[in-house]
């Protein structure tokens, strides 16, 4: 009985170590021109772009409505276009598992505000 418990604990630790190192969120470096509309003591209203495995995540500390999201390949082809709303503290998920290997540009716009990030698939 004691050996079984020990084996289960060891297996759980091993699974946690293996899966903990496989999936992690990588923050996408961005160029931005996003006017923060919150007061000085608040966090930025600029969207945060992250890549986690085969998904892009867009998060914000503020509700962002009427967004324009476009993903463009290296050769200038637009491969994704969406006009969503982003809810506070909830990641907006864009699956990228069907994109061919290569470098891509993601543009998130709201009016005159924009965030541009670059990421690699493959």
Q: Domain map of the chain by residue range?
A: 25-121
The more confidently predicted of residues 25 and 62 is 62
pTM above 0.75, yes or no: no
- pLDDT tens-place string over residues 89-122: 788 999 999 999 999 999 999 888 899 999 999 8
Cα 63 to Cα 86: distance, rounded to the nearest angstrom = 6
- pLDDT tens-place string over residues 18-37: 454 445 567 777 777 776 55
The more confidently predicted of residues 104 and 17 is 104
Pick the CATH number of 25-121 from 2.40.50.100, 3.20.20.100, 3.40.50.300, 2.60.40.3080: 2.60.40.3080
Buried b (16+ CB within 10 A) or exposed e, 21-52: eeeeeeebebeeebeeeeeeeeeebbbbbbbe
């Amino acid at each position: 009985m004691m050996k079984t418990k020990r084996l289960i604990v060891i297996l759980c630790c091993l699974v946690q170590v293996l899966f903990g190192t496989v999936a992690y969120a990588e923050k996408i470096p961005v160029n931005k021109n996003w006017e923060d509309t919150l007061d000085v003591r608040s966090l930025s209203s600029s969207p945060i772009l992250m890549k986690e495995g085969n998904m892009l995540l867009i998060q914000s500390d503020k509700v962002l409505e009427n967004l324009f999201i476009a993903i463009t390949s290296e050769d200038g082809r637009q491969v994704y276009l969406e006009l969503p709303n982003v809810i506070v503290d909830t990641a907006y998920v864009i699956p990228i598992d069907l994109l061919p290997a290569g470098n891509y540009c993601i543009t998130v716009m709201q009016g005159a505000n924009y965030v541009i990030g670059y990421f690699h698939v493959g």
